[in-house]
Chains A and B, each alone.
Chain A
Amino acid sequence: MKFEHLVGAVVHDLKNQLQALLDYEQEALARIPKRYHTHLDPILQRTNRLKNDTMQMVTLFRLEQKSHFPMDDAWPRDTAADAIEATSLQYPGIRFSNDIGEDCQGFYNETLIHLALITLITNSAQAGATHIRLTADDSNGLTLCVDDNGHGFDNAVLAGEKDTTKQEGSGLGLFFVELIASHHKQGEEHGSIHIANRKEGGASVSIRLP
């Protein structure tokens, strides 16, 4: 067996184990009195974080292996709500606005876009955001937008000279989102991402799918 396949299998199992752990923790939380929750919450948050990270790794691995992620009808409002649900546990201080219309429709792989949104939300949270707003427009392809009120991108990142604003960041986050976007194709057209700083302060990342 090739080393990379071994790694792939291990990470895959790790993801499943973490999902199970998360389920047990939530079950436990539901059974114990509220006043003890503060003791369990940090564990739940860490587990959630680890699960999201391993999901990212599994997906990166499969994207790397040129796996096929089929696309289908999908509803950005639901996908955004799922991403918010998956991250809000970790960032109870952040206020989320899901301003995507109920009828807004997309054609994408829901698992991938879900992960892309989680990655962007995590980035925003790490940039000190306290408010994250998600919007979408399906008039021409689909554009999904994540706006925050954090410290925004460095000019070097905006100019494409650097990959990350974070002191110790790897730039993997945006790279991952870009990979996911470009996996979505229609004819010759690939998806792409666009980053900017908002006039009012904070970052704005949009994913454009053909």
Chain B
Amino acid sequence: MINLELALKDKRILVVDDLVEARSALKKMITILGATQIDTATDGREAMEFIMEREYDIVLSDYNLGKGKDGQQILEEARYCNRLRATALFILVTGENAVEMVMGALEYEPDNYITKPFTLNMLRERLTRILSTKLELLQVDTAIDLGETDRAITLATAVLDKNPKLLIPVTRILGKLYIRQKRYNEAIKVYSELLNKRSVSWARLGQAICMHYLGDSRSALALLKQTLIAHPMYVQCYDWAATIMLSLGDSKGAQKQLEKAVEISPKAVLRQMELGKLAYSNEDYPVAEMAFEQAIRLGRHSCYKHSGNYLQFAHTIRHELKPGEQSREQKMRVEKAFRAIDELRQDYAGQDNIMFETSIIEGKTHTTLNDEDKARASARRAEEILQRMTNPTDEQQLQMTEAYIDTGQHVKAKQLIRKLQQQGMGSNELSQLQALEDNLNKVVIRDHTAALNARGVGHYEKSEFTEAIAAFDEAASYEEAGVSVLLNAIQAKISLIENTQIDVGQLKDCYRYFQRIGKIGSNDDRYERYERLKGTFMRLKRAAGL
């Protein structure tokens, strides 16, 4: 075994604990044990600043760090940002209650953990063991740091042959490396060999992941469920169950799994992001809103800060808004959405893609709130950005088209649609374009029939029935014409007959319009009017001898 004092002497060490007594006690202990270069951090944010700035050989972090990030998240973030070499050690200090959570991590697992409370002697023994093991794996870890996966696998296998007592740590490494190389059968084999001797949950999770990649997702799911019965707090199993269910097309079930994972471990940004996306695509907007809000909050001062969270948060809220509602919830939601948009404008200024989408979602929100002027202003901003982009994507141009339609700029919408049609695009985008064009046509026709209807009403009020009928008939000639337009046309025709003479042609028109309207329920606002007109129509029909 190693000489701990010598081993610690030249190591750069970071100690993270939110409690001052615990922090200084730990620092004192490792100083007694031989450490000389020690930094201390009080929370996840400070720890990450240190980690980004310096290369540490050992990070000793408490698991529970109060309000902010926990130790596991520091580890994940440090690995995610590539700030922890494989040869470096990350050790979590944890109460017995959390050991299970800490040990289960398969992808972002700490090198080891120390259970609290511990004495100086206990820390000495534990560190000696951890550093001795790490030393035996030094060549393997070095190969991993150099990206030489094949060599790392060969070396790890050799280490295990020489020292079978390293079965657990070596299997962890081997399994991960095999998965990285997509050698799933070999990964399953090493996990099985471990499970025959040692019952460790992460090896079961590893097997399930490999089974899934090999195409047997149902068996993988069954294995995960079985593991979860014994281990209901094993949060990574829920994550993978969600991934696998999603691949099987069960997105609602996947969302449920992720919700459970978030309930157990609510501080993980990536998980909240996943849940947000999934809930959004499931149109479960309240869940999506909560998840994106957490992802924004937790990611704000980390390398997980991502414009997508803000944008998707704003999109989610837009779906939840009800036009014209004045409730407190609505006001708070609107506020939150615009705060996210403001934050985007502050933090991502100058990044055209992000600014473009920011303006698009801002405009959509205004449109939903019936705020036409502001919606147009947002569309203008988007337009400006789009014009200076050298290579806007199809999606961006489609979004712009939609914004034009939403803000009544039909000519511009039509022009852009034509341009896109000429350019040609993928089948998916093409069907979106088709939908937009149909929508545009509908909107244009709706506007047109509304104008015709208004003209008809104007004539009618001046008792110019022939002119009114002409306008209403034209409006009714579109199949999109609504019940009110049809009733207006009928009323104008009846009024003309009553004021002049029986006209069989007009009566036949009325009959056709009634057919088009079909049945109207007695709850309908227009029911009375419909019944009254129908009565008069029947009387006139009899009078005409039809």
Contact = CB atoms under 8 A, between A and B. Distances in A.
Contacts of B126: 78
B121 A107 contact: no
Interface string A174-208: 00000000000111000000000000000000000
Given A102-B1, A105-B165, A111-B96, A72 B200 contact: yes
Contact of A82 (B122, B165, B199): B122
Contacts of A105: 165
B388 interface: no
A147 interface: no
A19 B200 CA distance: 30
Nearest to B116: A19
B103 interface: yes
Contacts of A110: 115
B199 A186 contact: yes
A99 interface: no
B197 A71 contact: no
A91 interface: no
Nearest to B101: A70
Nearest to B96: A111
Nearest to A138: B165
Interface in A68-89: 68, 70-73, 75, 78, 81-82, 85
Q: Could you tell me the dominant secondary structure of chain B's interface residues?
A: helix
A103 interface: yes
B168 A72 contact: yes
Contacts of B10: none
Nearest to B1: A102
B165 A81 contact: no
Interface residues of B, number: 25
Interface string A89-116: 0000000000000110101001100000
Interface in B95-109: 96, 99-100, 103-104
A81 B198 CA distance: 24
B198 A75 contact: no
B79 to A, nearest CB: 21
A70 B165 CA distance: 19
Interface string A136-148: 0000000000000
A70 B103 contact: yes
Category for how many chain A residues contact B: 20 to 34
Given A78-B125, A111-B115, A186-B197, A68 B1 contact: no
A155 to B, nearest CB: 38
Interface in B53-107: 96, 99-100, 103-104
B233 interface: yes
A185 B199 CA distance: 8
Contacts of A75: 125, 129
B455 to A, nearest CB: 72
A71 B198 contact: yes
B332 interface: no
A103 B168 contact: no
B100 A82 contact: no
Interface in B213-245: 230-231, 233
Contacts of B198: 71, 107, 186
B200 A71 contact: yes
Contacts of A111: 96, 99, 115
A82 B103 contact: no
Contacts of B165: 73, 103, 105
A126 B169 CA distance: 40
Nearest to A22: B117
B117 A81 contact: no
B100 A85 contact: no
A110 B198 CA distance: 15
Contacts of A107: 168, 197-198
Contacts of A103: 165
**Which of B197, B199, B230 has the most A CB atoms < 10 Å from its CB?**
B199
A85 B121 contact: yes
Most chain B Cβ neighbours within 10 Å, of A68, A70, A72, A81: A70
18 contacts: A70-B201, A72-B103, A72-B168, A73-B169, A75-B125, A78-B122, A78-B126, A81-B121, A82-B119, A82-B121, A82-B125, A85-B121, A102-B1, A105-B165, A107-B168, A110-B115, A186-B199, A187-B199
Interface of A: 19, 68, 70-73, 75, 78, 81-82, 85, 102-103, 105, 107, 110-111, 185-187
Nearest 6 Cβ contacts at the A-B interface = A78-B125, A111-B96, A105-B165, A70-B100, A73-B168, A107-B198
